[in-house]
A and B are shown apart, each in its own frame.
Chain A
Amino acid sequence: MTKRRKWTAIPGLLALAVGAVMLSAYSGASSSQHSSPVQPIAFPHPVHVQKLGMNCLYCHNAANKSMDPGLPAVSTCMGCHNMIGPDRPASDLGPKRHSDEIAKLYKFADAAGPGAGMGPNAKPIPWKRIHKVPEYVHFPHTRHVTAGVTCQTCHGQIQKMDRVYQYASLNMGWCVSCHVNGYSPKEGLEAAGYAPQQQATTSSASPAPATVATGERKKARYDCANCHY
């Protein structure tokens, strides 16, 4: 290779590297999408949501009233698990079984055993955070939930995830595409596994958006100060 070709190769390489960075940034490769950290307790959403039919808001109780969806306090877990201990005796529910994960919960809650309640040395569970938007982004859960955006729209089929992973890229393009193109509550309900008509059971205090029935896409503001301030 000649000297001249050598000198073109280095800038060329640099340009390619820059290109790769930009490509990765815009393609969403710089997002932590699909990250699925191992949690201190392997909490099974499917058991709680699909099998037991618990509502998301039972544990994430601030999702419809705060920026922050809220995490269940240890006492919320122990509200049920005080009586549902790590060792299940054989019964009509099934054979005798031991759960390591409930045992871990008991350790965090400093619970001596079923029925004993939380002990004096209880510690909060240090969950690993999966979904995070940068500090300069203000994402109000309440606004989205009250507009009829279902959890699954952004978090994926979380009720089926044995280990939660980041479903959406959470990049700005992803946010804006929904604000610009609009969100269909009908599709959202379907993603959550509901038939649209089930929405009709909502109380009169919070009437269902008219768009549910029509399938109209609900658009939202997407100027910068909507989220960045």
Chain B
Amino acid sequence: MSQDISKTGVKRRDFLKVLGASSAVIATTACSEDTGKLIPYLVSPDQTVPGVSSYYATTCRECSAACGVISETRDGRSIKLEGNPDHPLNRGALCARGQSALQGLYNPDRFRTPLFKDATGWHATTWEDAITRLGTALGTAQKGGAVFLNQHESGSFPRFLDGWLAGFGMPAHLSVDFEADSAAIEANRRSYGVAWPSLSFKDAKLILSFGADFLDSWGANVPQQLDFADARAKLDGAPRFVYIGARRSLTGLNADQWIACKPGSELSIANALAGKGSVQQAATDSGVAANVLQALVNELGASKPVLAVSGASGDNALDVALAVAAINQASGAVGTTIKPATPITAFEGIAHTDQVLAAVERMRGGQVGVAFVRGTNPAHSLPKSVKFGEAFAKVALKVSFSSYPDETTEMCDLIIPDLHSLEQWGDAEPVRGTIGVQQPVMDPVFSTIKGGTADALIAVAKKGTPTAAAATSADYRSWFIANFPGGAAGLAAALPKGITSGTIAQRALPPAAAPVATATPMGSTTGDFFLVTYPSPVLGDGRGANKPWLQELPDPVTKICWSSWVEIHPETATRLGIERGDILEVKTATGTVRAPAYPYLGIHKDAIAIPIGQGHAAVKSMALFDPKHHSTGDVQWGYGRYSRDIGVNALDLIPAGTDGAGGLVWTATKASISKTGDNRVLPSTEGSARQHGRGIAQAIDAADLNKAPGGDEARVEVLPGDASHEFLPGLRAPVAADAQGDLGSPTALGHGIEKGMYNPNDVRGMAKRRWAMTIDLARCTGCSACVTACYSENNIPTVGAYWQNATLFADARPGFNIERGREMNWIRLERYFEGNPDGKFGEDFETRFVPMLCQHCGNAPCEPVCPVYATYHAPDGLNVQVYNRCVGTRYCSNNCPYKVRYFNWFGYGEQDRKQYAFPEPLEWQLNPDVTVRTKGVMEKCSFCVQRIREGENRAAAEHRELHADEFTSACAQACPSRAITFGDAADPNWSVAQLAHDRRAYHVFEELNTYTAVVYLKKVNHPATGATAPAAN
């Protein structure tokens, strides 16, 4: 045949054959397209409609606060968590950690079966067998003494657990929360009579924080943030906020003034403010100029009531907290800004760290025969100097109820995985008098896990002959219902809203010895720098490290993700010749770690800071690990694949000392640093920390708010696109109408205005809406909850895991893609520093946070440059990205002044690729309403177009128009400072239409005539004024 062709060319008959064959191939491929199967229900569940979400109110268990959440459950799978608007604590908002509970539920490293260890290693077993094993082993082991370390939670389970333990003759459990501020709790108890009064920032005239990071992880951060934002929204009537501490945390960056004191000297300052010490002494101890402190004393005297909070973490933490309470009492704060009458009860009953340390010593002494661990990871969360592993190994029977592999669980003998909190019953009492219900929002992900910890304990009790009351219940659900106020009827009434009034019977707390401070004063340790360690606002004490959303969420302060870092002041760094990314060796008496340097203006020049949360044990035997082919029998030790090989554990550096309240002292020692000569690129999304005069984040002094604009302000007013101008429906720029309406139509001839596609006057009324957003920078705190909400809503892949690099010529290290700028955050938090331009030591810099997302320009620079019409302007004002049209030229991204378009470099959404971002069962979290993007496609914020369509469909089904504020975008829904408002700017009934005309409104880069649909409201600053301003030195 081929010879024939070479001699004679193609014969007519051959040609026809080829043509016929190729057509047949085309036809066959078309016909054989696999459309799959349609599998109906056996019995359709009540009150569910396929493709329509059900919503279940439950309780968040990601920290002790116990906020109310609503799970959106579609076809039996939870796909999104949002705050419960009816919940008194979080009022509809939810932080990034709470939203990421979904990734705990669907974590690919979750134990799929119970496991036991024998001489040959780990073996999977059935749930029933695990119960039998525990029952058998318990009989002999318990005689040697028992310790139960349980994650702290309010509600009935702690009481149930104590009852069960008592039935076996074992002592009450320890309720552990390593993040809790024991000193603050103890001082609250002594000063106000409750563990945690509710705080009312909006009633204060002055807010003082002594290292209390109430916007990061100190206390109940969502309600605190809601209230703080409400305080800031009072604009010129808002309280001034002064932050006193060695490190400016996220909370510190939100302060109007930072007083950078030496670690440990907060006590002198607090005493001076309370009138118990001299300003001069405080100035000497803290290294702060006396006039600054004197000005603060004066301001304090003139501002009543004050709200002062302490989160000091040094050896004198309790004394600081008590002195701060004295400031409050002197200022008349109790009852106005500090409300002991409405306490947040979630922090009651936390075992202090010294009790845990005492238990560890009992283990070391061979006095413990059986140890249980549930929801806590002491092997990672206790300082290395405690030598927890050594002590734990001496316990004969070690049982873990952890759902995930972690350092402590790896040392255990038996693992009976707990159900996730979204899969089981429970309750919480977040605020006195309010019960929050925790209900399963779906069937367990793994049917091999037949019950939660409580169910397992009941099953064990039934095997033996204990006297525990627990053994009389069939399972925990029936015990829980029997103990619920009002029984089954009461529970049924509480379920729709997720809350009910009432109180939960508290467990009798075991008597504990009065804590004794064991920490040595920091000054007596050796080293060049004070070492500040703090729990990461994103990962907490490390429990968030196995969730990719949290790893990928840039730290709100440093903008670094998938890494640890050492913060060092730029002036000190310059003096020592240290540059960004230089690997430093940090050495203390108890240990050494190596981490990259991050020069940061907000750290005292005599201090360095390292966040806690990373540095989980290395995952063994994962060299050839392939996320696609996860075998069920192979446990990925460490803390799962997402925490593998990331950073260091700062707790390796600190001695195991406790403060007067029994809490672990985090800021405990001095350290010396040395350069190792290595350097790495930090996986950071920071870009430039300075605005370079671009006016992206604008601010106004409170005093100038009511002044009529003049001079430069007046010039700005006449610029087109200014917020004082009207929002028109659809396109408003004539340029855009030409480019995309008449001439840009793909079927231009005879189409365009004539056919009505872009004509706002069209009879079909298609263009009557203009979707828009306002972002109030006076409210925004930079917490980044909106970022995670967007990841969750829009199926955004995380790209930083170590296997998601390029196939060739790339290092398999976490964060590699971030180093290359491949992050996909449709909404990001830009953080800019103002002032202190030379980076010399000085606390007089201001921070502005700007959530940056697609601005949905009326005259979008991205649109005319797209050669395939994959991005265009919708008649309702959306700048649309059509994934199936996009061919990936990236011209649009090059032309976008806001840099909000993100490119899919590696096909993170495609299951058969190495870089797949959703290893099973993580893909269950995907939102079915949003396309999962493929490789080579540009993507960006869509203004949650799926929510717009859902709302429109609902309205159409009910034959009505959309109600004002009927729905909102995912970022606006989650925002714990209520900074974001979304809606239709063309309809004056929507909130956004009013806010867009605020006196503080501006558009970013309005000089580019982009006619953006996102309107920012200027941040309001409260500089020290008049008599309270510090006199010049």
A residues with CB within 8 A of B: 1-2, 5-6, 9-10, 13, 16-17, 20-21, 24, 29-32, 35, 61-62, 64-68, 70-76, 118, 122-132, 134-136, 138, 140, 142-143, 146-147, 180, 205-207, 219-226, 228-229
Contacts and interface: CB of A to CB of B under 8 A. Distances in A.
Nearest to A123: B42
B31 to A, nearest CB: 6
Nearest to A143: B953
A229 B942 contact: yes
B957 A228 contact: no
B40 A74 contact: yes
B946 interface: yes
Nearest to A220: B764
Contact of A13 (B15, B764, B929, B930): B15
B880 A223 contact: yes
B50 A225 contact: no
A136 B883 contact: yes
Contact of A72 (B40, B49, B930, B942): B40
**6 nearest CB pairs, A to B:** A1-B9, A68-B51, A66-B51, A225-B880, A73-B41, A71-B40
Nearest to B930: A229
A136 B33 CA distance: 16
A20 B883 contact: no
B22 A17 contact: yes
Given A9-B9, A129-B35, A74 B41 contact: yes
Contacts, number: 170
> Is the contact region of chain A dominated by helix, strand, or loop, or is it mixed?
loop
A184 B6 CA distance: 59
A54 B38 CA distance: 22
B30 A124 contact: no
A229 B42 CA distance: 32
B1027 interface: no
B858 to A, nearest CB: 15
Contacts of A135: 931-932
A20 B23 CA distance: 7
Contacts of A9: 9-10, 15
26 contacts: A1-B10, A5-B9, A13-B18, A24-B26, A29-B30, A32-B31, A61-B49, A62-B51, A67-B51, A71-B40, A124-B39, A124-B42, A125-B39, A125-B40, A126-B39, A127-B37, A129-B37, A135-B931, A143-B952, A206-B959, A223-B757, A223-B875, A224-B872, A226-B949, A228-B880, A229-B949
A68 B579 CA distance: 57
A21 B26 CA distance: 7
Contacts of A35: 31
Interface in B490-527: none
A135 B43 CA distance: 27
B959 A221 contact: no
Interface in B860-894: 872, 874-875, 878, 880, 882-885
A220 B953 CA distance: 13
Contacts of B755: 180
Interface of B: 5-6, 8-10, 15, 18-19, 22-23, 26-27, 30-31, 33, 35-44, 49-52, 755, 757, 764, 766, 872, 874-875, 878, 880, 882-885, 929-932, 942, 945-946, 949, 952-953, 956-957, 959
Nearest to B766: A221
Contacts of B35: 32, 128-132
Contacts of A20: 19, 22-23, 26
Given A29-B30, A132-B36, A206-B959, A6 B6 contact: yes
Contacts of A32: 30-31, 33, 35
Nearest to B763: A219
Nearest to A131: B35
Contacts of B42: 73-75, 118, 122-124
Nearest to B954: A142
A125 B37 CA distance: 9
Nearest to B878: A225
Contact of B5 (A6, A68, A219, A228): A6
B949 to A, nearest CB: 7
B49 A62 contact: yes
A41 to B, nearest CB: 12
A163 B874 CA distance: 41
A129 B26 contact: no
Nearest to A223: B874
A70 B43 CA distance: 13
Given A1-B10, A228-B884, 4 more contacts: A16-B19, A62-B51, A123-B42, A229-B930
Contacts of B880: 223-225, 228-229
Given A6-B10, A20-B26, A136 B884 contact: yes
Given A6-B10, A13-B18, A136 B39 contact: no
Contacts of B41: 73-75, 124
A75 B26 contact: no
B37 A223 contact: no
B30 A30 contact: yes
B6 to A, nearest CB: 7
Nearest to B945: A229
A129 B36 contact: yes
Contact of B27 (A29, A61, A127): A29
Given A13-B10, A138-B929, A223-B875, A73 B44 contact: yes
Contacts of B40: 71-74, 124-125, 127
Contact of A140 (B27, B39, B949): B949
Contacts of A223: 757, 872, 874-875, 880
Contacts of B952: 143
B952 to A, nearest CB: 8
A142 B953 contact: yes
Nearest to A71: B40
B44 A75 contact: yes
B52 A62 contact: yes
Contacts of A75: 41-44
Given A1-B9, A6-B9, A225-B882, A71 B38 contact: yes
A6 B42 CA distance: 63
Given A70-B49, A74-B42, A229-B942, A142 B5 contact: no
A125 B878 CA distance: 42
A17 to B, nearest CB: 5
Contacts of B23: 20, 24
Contacts of A1: 8-10
B37 A128 contact: yes
Interface centre among B39, B50, B757, B945 (most CB of A within 10 A): B50
Nearest to B882: A224
Nearest to B51: A68
B874 A225 contact: yes
A132 B34 CA distance: 10
Contacts of B38: 71, 126-129
A48 B956 CA distance: 30
A51 B588 CA distance: 87
B33 A224 contact: no
Nearest to B755: A180
Given A17-B22, A122-B42, A124-B42, A229 B30 contact: no
A225 B879 CA distance: 9
A228 B883 contact: yes
Given A24-B26, A138-B949, A229-B942, A219 B764 contact: yes
Contacts of B885: 224, 228
A1 to B, nearest CB: 3
Nearest to A72: B40
Nearest to A209: B959
A29 B26 contact: yes
Contacts of A143: 952-953, 956-957
Nearest to A109: B42
Contact of B931 (A21, A71, A229): A229
Contacts of B51: 62, 66-68, 70
B787 to A, nearest CB: 20
Nearest to B23: A20
A124 B40 CA distance: 6
Contacts of B757: 222-223
